[in-house]
């Protein structure tokens, strides 16, 4: 199975996924990284890890749809079976989601449906929540909305700083995302409406 990762920033989840594949935990080929930002540090990680790195500039396209069509064509040429979003800071068009229906995974640093959108950790922390967490889900046409694959909570301890909470969330992300991808690759995920059943 060929996997493409789409990222816009630091790329720590991307690196965790690639390393999981290299050690055989995920039995798939992380074939390429696609970024929409020329200076995304994920690109540096890709070079170090030996993964093909492709930058596609959104400014070269007159609409979001044309940008998504360009990526879609590239993924089809590269025979990509699964698209993994790892901090990709663009909302995918309905065209893209329909083209890769039930073949796009995303990770979100909150217990969805709570704190959808940006700055989820900061908003949970600032809102005085007792817990937050991480969610891996399939992507549908709404933001942070698709069927949930895996979800795990993190207790926000009294006196904990935002930086400490962020570190805990990211550590959990690096564990949960490779597991979700592993389950997909092994064909153990079955979508039933809004629910995802995990088989043996």
Catalytic residues: 108
Instruction: Give the sign of the dihedral formed by CA 8, CA 45, CA 110, CA 71.
Output: positive
Chain-centroid distance of CA 151 in Å reads: 13
C-beta separation of 158 from 128 below 8 A: no
Phi-psi region of 33 (alpha: psi -120 to 50; beta: other; left: phi over 0): beta
The Cα 36–Cα 54 span in angstroms is 9
**DSSP for residue 194:** T
């Amino acid at each position: 199975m060929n996997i493409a990762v789409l990222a816009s920033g630091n790329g720590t989840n991307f690196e965790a996924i690639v390393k999981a594949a290299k050690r055989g935990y995920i039995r798939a080929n992380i074939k390429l990284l696609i970024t929409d930002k020329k200076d995304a540090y994920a690109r540096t990680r890709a070079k170090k890890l030996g993964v093909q790195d492709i930058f596609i500039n959104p400014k070269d396209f007159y609409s979001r749809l044309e940008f998504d069509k360009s990526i879609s064509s590239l993924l089809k040429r590269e025979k990509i079976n699964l698209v993994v979003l790892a901090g990709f800071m663009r909302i995918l068009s309905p065209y893209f989601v329909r083209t890769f229906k039930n073949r796009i995974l995303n990770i979100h640093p909150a217990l969805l449906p709570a704190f959808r959108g940006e700055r989820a950790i900061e908003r949970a922390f600032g809102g005085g929540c007792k817990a937050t967490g991480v969610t891996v889900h399939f992507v549908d046409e709404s933001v942070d909305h698709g069927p949930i694959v895996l979800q795990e909570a993190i207790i926000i301890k009294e006196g904990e700083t935002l930086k400490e909470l962020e570190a805990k969330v990211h550590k959990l992300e690096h564990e949960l995302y490779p597991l979700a991808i592993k389950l997909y690759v092994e064909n153990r995920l079955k979508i039933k409406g809004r629910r995802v059943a995990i088989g043996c």
